[in-house]
A and B are shown apart, each in its own frame.
Chain A
Amino acid sequence: MGEKREGRSRDEAERREGGLHVLGAIWGGFATTLKHLFRRPITQQYPEVRRSLPERARGRIILTRDPKGDERCVACELCSAVCPVSCISMQAAQREDGRRYALWFRINFARCIFCGLCEEACPTLAIQLTPDFEMIKADPLDLLYEKEDLLVDHCGKNTYYDYQEHCGTGEKGMRPGELPPVDPKTNLP
């Protein structure tokens, strides 16, 4: 019963659709397309006209420095862990003052999908994406960017954040103002 009524109403809807006013709608369509024929094309002719992309556009990845000029990256591997295509790899090392850094840092841009997850994951704001997207190479091996290709001489999008200022550089338990480690057995219910 219910099915039947539904079927009938759909038939009616189709009959109404097929009425004469369809012709009016079609005519409106033709008028609209004709109007567009005389409009200026809005295409930007790419190689000649290069529009500047927004600051947060996701392109080539860089490694930035903190305001003092030191490398921000502490080789925590978070970017490498979050990368969905596993295109980031690095080797951690420690300086004499206890500060961690990446001995080598490599991004395979032939794999990178420019999702920006590494930038989100980075606790020190070291790894950042830039609006530059013109990095075509004839050989995929040339898309393997090493640390010296990635490291830049500026702070990137954030000019004041300094991770080391907050956390210090020493080993665990030696940082200024750090509380002693909590024994997890003591806060069980």
Chain B
Amino acid sequence: MELLTYLALMGLKSIAVLGFLLFAASYLVLGERKLLARFQVRYGPNRAGPWGLLQPIADMIKLLAKEDIVPQGADRKLFLLAPALVATTALLSFGAVPWGPELVLGGRKIEGAVADVQVGLLYIFAMSSLSVYGIALGGWASNSKYSLLGAVRGAAQMISYEISLGLSLAPIVMLSGSFSLREIVEAQEKVPFGLIQPVSLFLFLTSALAEIKRIPFDLPEAENELVAGYHTEYSGMRFGLFFLGEYVNIIVLGGVVANMFLGGWKGPLLPPLLWFVIKVLAVAFFLIWVRATLPRLRYDQLMHLGWKLLLPLSVLNVILTGAVLAAWPKS
């Protein structure tokens, strides 16, 4: 009985989160297109439904109805697997992101996350590393030079930025003394870590942008050099899965930034869940703002930035934080 209720609760929560995530991702696409349009003094999609609100549904119908092409000479199995890998890892990594406080319902504690993993941060990093396989395999299996170039760039870029991505969060882990995102949020009761560690926030946002391949680090899909990079040969819903993965990744990034730097669901007046959503959306807005502003980096600039600026800075940040923590332990 105990196990059954647990499983039922778990299933309900997973379905709710999955549904919300897919809904949010599809409307994030619309939101991005709208915002980007306003940044460029345009209107953006406004034909499908009032204010273009039905645009995501129209897009989905279009993607589902399109022909699913596997190019000649492609490695069929890998080609079919790659987009699923990207979307799955993106969706899975949100499982460890907490979105609210623990709820006590009928003497039963319900955690505000699909799974409150003790090493949630490492889990999220692991998932984002795995998504490199989706990119690399997709590009490789397409049997197209543009895809392959995109995949190679993607792999190199994600591997180089993973280091500073991990190191940039090390000071937060040192400050809170935990890898669990829940405990990290609890540690920000008084002051959000974004105020204590602005350098870490900057480093994390920059490397995370590169990790999820957003402008200005979208070299793997640089459309004016590589057609569409690693997903050049994909069509229909398989392309849709790559797309979905990208936008779910934005939400995951928003959730991680909200939890690590902005105090998670904590905030005055409004209910916790709403605070969490507001913070995620704020991060998403920032990403769209970046997209509207910055041009794409050259490949050597990207590598310079990663290895010569972000990595030393994040190591320095870890050392300084360690020194301060050693000098004034647990004030």
Q: Interface on A for B, CB 8 Å cutoff? A: 18, 26, 29-30, 32-34, 36-37, 39-43, 45
Say what secondary structure dominates the interface of chain B: helix
- B292 touching A43 by the CB < 8 A rule? no
A43: B residues at CB distance < 8 A: 41-43
Shortest Cβ distance from B286 into A: residue: A30
Closest beta carbon of chain B to A28's beta carbon, Å: 10
> Given the complex of chains A and B, what is the CA–CA distance between A39 and B292 in angstroms?
15
CB of B159 within 8 Å of the partner chain? no
A36: B residues at CB distance < 8 A: 38-41
- B42 touching A30 by the CB < 8 A rule? no
> Given the complex of chains A and B, what is the CA–CA distance between A32 and B292 in angstroms?
10
**Which of A32, A34, A41 contacts B43 (CB under 8 A)?**
A41
**Which of A18, A37, A45 contacts B39 (CB under 8 A)?**
A37
A30: B residues at CB distance < 8 A: 289, 293
- A41 touching B39 by the CB < 8 A rule? no
Closest beta carbon of chain B to A40's beta carbon, Å: 8
Show 11 residue pairs from A and B whose CB-CB distance is below 8 angstroms, ordered by the A residue.
A18-B304, A26-B293, A26-B294, A29-B293, A29-B294, A33-B293, A37-B38, A39-B41, A41-B41, A43-B41, A45-B43
Closest beta carbon of chain A to B311's beta carbon, Å: 15
Give residues 22-75 of B contacting A (CB, 8 Å). Answer: 35, 37-43
B304: A residues at CB distance < 8 A: 18
Shortest Cβ distance from A35 into B: residue: B39
> Given the complex of chains A and B, what is the CA–CA distance between A109 and B292 in angstroms?
40
> Given the complex of chains A and B, what is the CA–CA distance between A32 and B293 in angstroms?
8
B37: A residues at CB distance < 8 A: 41
B41: A residues at CB distance < 8 A: 36, 39-43
Interface string of B265-296 (1 = CB under 8 A from A): 00000000000000000000000010011100
Besides A33-B293, A34-B289, A36-B38, 19 new A-B residue pairs in contact (Cβ under 8 A), listed by A number:
A18-B304, A26-B293, A29-B293, A29-B294, A30-B289, A30-B293, A33-B289, A33-B292, A36-B39, A36-B40, A37-B38, A37-B39, A40-B41, A41-B37, A41-B41, A41-B42, A42-B42, A43-B42, A45-B43
> Given the complex of chains A and B, what is the CA–CA distance between A41 and B34 in angstroms?
11
Closest beta carbon of chain A to B23's beta carbon, Å: 25
- A33 touching B43 by the CB < 8 A rule? no
> Given the complex of chains A and B, what is the CA–CA distance between A83 and B39 in angstroms?
42
A34: B residues at CB distance < 8 A: 289
A26: B residues at CB distance < 8 A: 293-294
